[in-house]
């Protein structure tokens, strides 16, 4: 398959891995954070950590919007769903994320009308076909999914649909990166930048990372060669004393991103004063809320949502994993009390969560072979 098979070719993978080994300084350690949960998934799936020198530490960052959503926000959404006149529509990866009183799926089992949708347009169609009900879309995601929500709201306004509402949990990637860099105990040498998000926001938006914090960032694709090549590009920058923003994923990501998508976001949304991130706390201007012009569609205003502060279970170390202070398998609940079938933390339930990725692939043995299928190439034992 074009742009897939060639980026999984084992001879190329091993060649790039050899170049990485030749580039590292054995006397120092390298801490590289992949921001996107898709990269974390690829690292575990393809056993990439096992191909790297032991002094390269891959840190799994807060790049999964489901994983960083605090339990209180889930509780707020489920409080809306308890209204018998409400249909709560949510993406599939939200259905099993636990709040303090259970997950959306458990609320559905208790009688709430909770439905899985594949897009906000599906939720809008629910509103059109159920005019006697109020339909609330549990919107979540980085800038990748925000344009779809914005365009759906524009369509709802154009059609005069008055029973459609959005519970906005859209968040922004750059304020989170800035918060990580400003943590006094955080030691990050460089970032692997999120490919999907950058198709919207563009590479230039990361300029502050290099300019203000003197850290390289390389936007990367999601296949084995992509991830390894981005690590090599980072190492070359560090070796040469450079801190620049580079784009490895040029086949999919234009440098300028997508101005039309950003325009739709800016038309419908505005930054919140602050937004709570699981593991990171409140980050200024990191979440999006509906502008006043779209206030009639704002579920928080319409239902009078009361903010809830809910602490994670003390034994679940999701926050430490999200900050890169702890590896998934170092959490005392990993694979014991917390599994994908019965998750305690969001990092285990989300398909892009670091804990789910390690749990699903850590038991496999690395078997990179020429022309192997994605079933064969996956595989780490333990992430470093």
CATH number at residue 178: 3.40.50.11750
d(CA 366, CA 295): 52
Q: Is 63 helix (H, G, I), strand (E, B) or coil?
A: coil
Is there a single domain that holds both residue 10 and residue 21?
A: yes
Is there a single domain that holds both residue 96 and residue 231?
A: no
Is there a single domain that holds both residue 201 and residue 82?
A: no
pLDDT level of residue 2 (50, 70, 90 thresholds): low
Is there a single domain that holds both residue 287 and residue 269?
A: yes
Q: Is residue 117 part of a domain?
A: yes
Is there a single domain that holds both residue 98 and residue 127?
A: yes
Is there a single domain that holds both residue 33 and residue 77?
A: no
Is there a single domain that holds both residue 125 and residue 267?
A: yes
Q: Residue 325: is its pLDDT beyond 80?
A: no
pLDDT level of residue 139 (50, 70, 90 thresholds): very high
Is there a single domain that holds both residue 139 and residue 212?
A: no
Is there a single domain that holds both residue 130 and residue 277?
A: yes
| Count of domains forming the chain | 2
Q: Is residue 352 part of a domain?
A: no
pTM of the complete model: 0.88
Q: What pLDDT is attached to residue 326? A: 81
The CATH code of the domain that includes 298 is 3.40.50.11740
Is there a single domain that holds both residue 73 and residue 193?
A: no
- Annotate 253-296 with DSSP letters as a single string: --TT--HHHHHHHHHHEEE-SEEEETTTEEEET-BEEE-GGGGG
* Structural domain boundaries enclosing 105: 69-171+257-303
Question: Stretch 325-351: mean pLDDT, rounded?
Answer: 82
Q: Give the CA diameter of the chain.
A: 68
Q: Which of 135-144, 223-232, 298-307, 336-345 has the lowest mean pLDDT?
A: 336-345
d(CA 67, CA 349): 8
DSSP letter at 359? Answer: H
pLDDT digits (tens, 9 = 90+) for 264-296: 999 999 999 999 998 788 999 999 999 999 999
Q: What pLDDT is attached to residue 321? A: 82
Question: Stretch 257-270: mean pLDDT, rounded?
Answer: 98
Is there a single domain that holds both residue 98 and residue 166?
A: yes
> Tokens in use for 232?
């090599």
Q: Is residue 214 part of a domain?
A: yes
């Amino acid at each position: 398959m074009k742009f897939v098979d060639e980026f999984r070719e084992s001879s190329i993978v091993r060649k790039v891995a050899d170049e990485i080994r030749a580039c590292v300084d054995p006397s120092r350690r390298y801490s590289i954070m992949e921001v996107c949960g898709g990269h974390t998934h690829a690292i575990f799936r393809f056993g990439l950590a096992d191909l790297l020198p032991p002094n390269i530490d891959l840190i799994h960052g807060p790049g999964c919007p489901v994983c960083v959503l605090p339990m209180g926000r889930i509780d707020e959404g489920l409080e809306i769903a308890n209204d018998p006149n409400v249909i709560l529509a949510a993406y599939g990866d939200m259905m099993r994320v636990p709040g303090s009183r259970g997950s959306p799926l458990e609320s559905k089992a208790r009688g709430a009308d909770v439905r899985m949708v594949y897009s906000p347009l599906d939720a809008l169609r629910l509103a059109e076909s159920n005019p006697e009900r109020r339909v609330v879309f549990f919107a979540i995601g980085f800038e990748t999914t925000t344009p779809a929500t914005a365009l759906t709201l524009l369509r709802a306004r154009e059609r005069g649909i008055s029973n459609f509402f959005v519970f906005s949990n859209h968040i922004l990637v750059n304020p989170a990166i800035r918060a990580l860099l400003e943590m006094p105990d955080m030691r990050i040498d460089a970032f692997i930048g999120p490919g999907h998000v950058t198709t919207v926001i563009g590479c230039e938006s990361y300029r502050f990372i290099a300019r203000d914090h003197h850290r390289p960032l390389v936007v990367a694709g999601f296949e084995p060669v992509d991830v390894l090549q981005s690590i090599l590009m980072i190492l070359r920058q560090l070796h040469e004393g450079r801190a620049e923003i580079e784009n490895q994923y040029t086949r999919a990501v234009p440098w300028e991103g997508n101005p039309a998508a950003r325009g739709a976001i800016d038309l419908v949304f505005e930054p919140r004063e602050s937004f709570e991130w699981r593991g990171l706390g409140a980050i200024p201007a990191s979440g999006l809320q509906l502008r006043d012009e779209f206030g009639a569609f704002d579920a928080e205003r319409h239902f009078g949502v009361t903010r809830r502060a809910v602490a994670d279970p003390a034994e679940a170390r999701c926050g430490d994993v999200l900050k890169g202070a702890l590896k998934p398998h170092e959490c005392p609940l990993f694979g014991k009390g917390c599994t994908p079938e019965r998750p305690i933390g969001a990092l285990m339930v989300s398909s892009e969560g670091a804990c789910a990725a390690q749990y699903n692939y850590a038991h496999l043995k690395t078997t990179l072979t020429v022309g192997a299928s994605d079933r064969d190439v996956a595989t780490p034992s333990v992430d470093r």
